[in-house]
């Protein structure tokens, strides 16, 4: 347990600011790097990885792994309200990652815990299926949108 969070550097502030500015969506290391480079505030990839890893350890950032062939997703976790738990829907057709902020899902997690003794981890749990757009366009023709980079809304 190290009491210090490390030095306060410009890169640390830059990354943390980016995370808090995008706390409503999940981001990738590539996305962060590209954005910062575009802003003229280039930060090395290794530095981003190292900071993100530390932030995850500190509980300030959550790490999602949707697919093993794509990269990891990160999202800022507000330290105030830990109840900010939502689940993710992953469309197997277009690869989109949808945030599901729904009380019913949280109720189910509570039910599974109280009745079945299983503590569901929202961080790891992803619902796989077909999203509305894809299921509508699926009936007519085949859209062969392979699984690839998730968008960033």
Partner DNA sequence: TTGCGTGCAAAGGTTTTGCATGGCA
Partner DNA sequence: TGCCATGCAAAACCTTTGCACGCAA
Considering only residues 7 to 46 of the shown chain, the ones binding DNA according to CB under 7 A are 7-12, 28-30, 42-46
| Shortest CB 69 distance to its own copies, Å | 8
42 binds, among DNA, its own copies, none (CB under 5 to 8 A by kind): DNA
Binding mask 46-75 vs DNA (x if CB under 7 A, - otherwise)?
Answer: xx-xxx-x--------------xxxxx---
Of these, 20, 58, 65, 152, which contacts its own copies (CB under 8 A)? 65
Site size for its own copies, by CB under 8 A? Answer: 37
Contact 126, 89 (CB under 8 A): yes
Which one, 23 or 63, has the nearer CB to its own copies? 63
Which one, 17 or 124, has the nearer CB to its own copies? 124
Q: How many CB atoms lie within 10 A of CB 47?
A: 16
Contact 100, 86 (CB under 8 A): yes
- Phi-psi domain of 121 (left: phi exceeds 0; alpha: psi -120 through 50; beta: other): beta
Cα separation, 33 vs 146, in Å, equals 24
Of these, 23, 47, 72, 147, which contacts its own copies (CB under 8 A)? 72
Burial of 141 (0-12, 13-18, 19+ CB in 10 A): exposed
Give the contacts of 74 (CB within 8 A, at least 6 positions apart): 19, 26, 27, 28, 29, 52, 55, 56, 61, 62, 63, 64
Which residues of this chain interact with its own copies, rule CB under 8 A?
Answer: 65-72, 89, 91-92, 98, 100, 102, 104-105, 108, 111-112, 115-121, 123-132, 135
Which residues of the shown chain bind DNA in the complex (CB under 7 A)?
6-12, 28-30, 42-47, 49-51, 53, 68-72, 146, 149
């Amino acid at each position: 347990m190290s009491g210090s969070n490390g030095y306060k550097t410009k890169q640390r502030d830059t990354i943390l600011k980016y995370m808090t500015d995008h706390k409503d969506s999940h981001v990738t290391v590539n996305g962060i790097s590209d954005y910062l480079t575009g802003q003229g505030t280039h930060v090395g990839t290794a530095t981003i990885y190292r900071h993100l890893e530390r932030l995850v350890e500190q509980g300030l950032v959550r790490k999602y792994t949707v697919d093993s062939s794509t990269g990891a997703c990160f999202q800022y976790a507000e330290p105030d309200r830990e109840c900010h738990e939502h689940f993710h829907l992953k469309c197997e057709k277009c690869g989109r990652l949808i945030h599901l902020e729904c009380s019913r899902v949280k109720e189910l997690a509570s039910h599974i815990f109280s009745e079945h003794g299983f503590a569901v981890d929202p961080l790891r749990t992803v619902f796989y299926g077909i999203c509305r757009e894809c299921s509508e366009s699926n009936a007519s023709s085949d859209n062969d949108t392979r699984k690839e980079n998730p968008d960033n809304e």
